[in-house]
């Protein structure tokens, strides 16, 4: 059973940066495409960035050029470097497979960007 634990969120001013981390345990991590998802207040959860086992990446248009997803298969870690943060980036950030498995959703990590 895969467990995913997110960390690194916090309160930051607009224009600031945060680096999120996702630690995975169990499962064949290296072969899975992984993604970072965001759920803003009152909105559905959305995929903001994903990375394949071959390290190709995809980003939502809203974060292109500002966010960078990376992974360390040896450590079973996925990262999301977020720069030039905007108030609309506020939400709870989760990692999961891409596409996601419902049983793998963790607690997420809260990111709040103040204007």
Asked if residue 108 lies in contact with residue 7, where contact means CB atoms within 8 angstroms, the answer is no
DSSP code, position 102: G
Pairing of strands 109-114, 10-13: parallel
pLDDT tens readout for residues 8-37: 999 999 999 999 999 999 877 777 899 999
Tell me what pLDDT residue 19 has. 98
Q: How far apart are CA 37 and CA 100, in angstroms?
A: 9
Residue whose entry in the numeric block shows the structure tokens 């680096």: 19
What average pLDDT does the structure give for the chain?
Answer: 94
- 39 token code pair: 């759920």
């Amino acid at each position: 059973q895969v467990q995913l634990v997110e960390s690194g969120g916090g309160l930051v001013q607009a224009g600031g940066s945060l680096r999120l981390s996702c630690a995975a345990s169990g499962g064949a991590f290296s072969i899975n495409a992984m993604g970072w998802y965001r759920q803003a207040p009152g909105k559905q959860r959305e995929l903001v960035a994903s990375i394949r086992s071959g390290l190709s990446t995809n980003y939502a248009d809203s974060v292109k050029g500002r966010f960078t997803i990376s992974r360390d298969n040896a450590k079973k870690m996925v990262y999301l470097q977020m720069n030039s943060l905007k108030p609309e980036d506020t939400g709870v950030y989760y990692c999961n497979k891409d596409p996601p498995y419902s049983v793998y959703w963790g607690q997420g990590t809260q990111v709040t960007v103040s204007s």
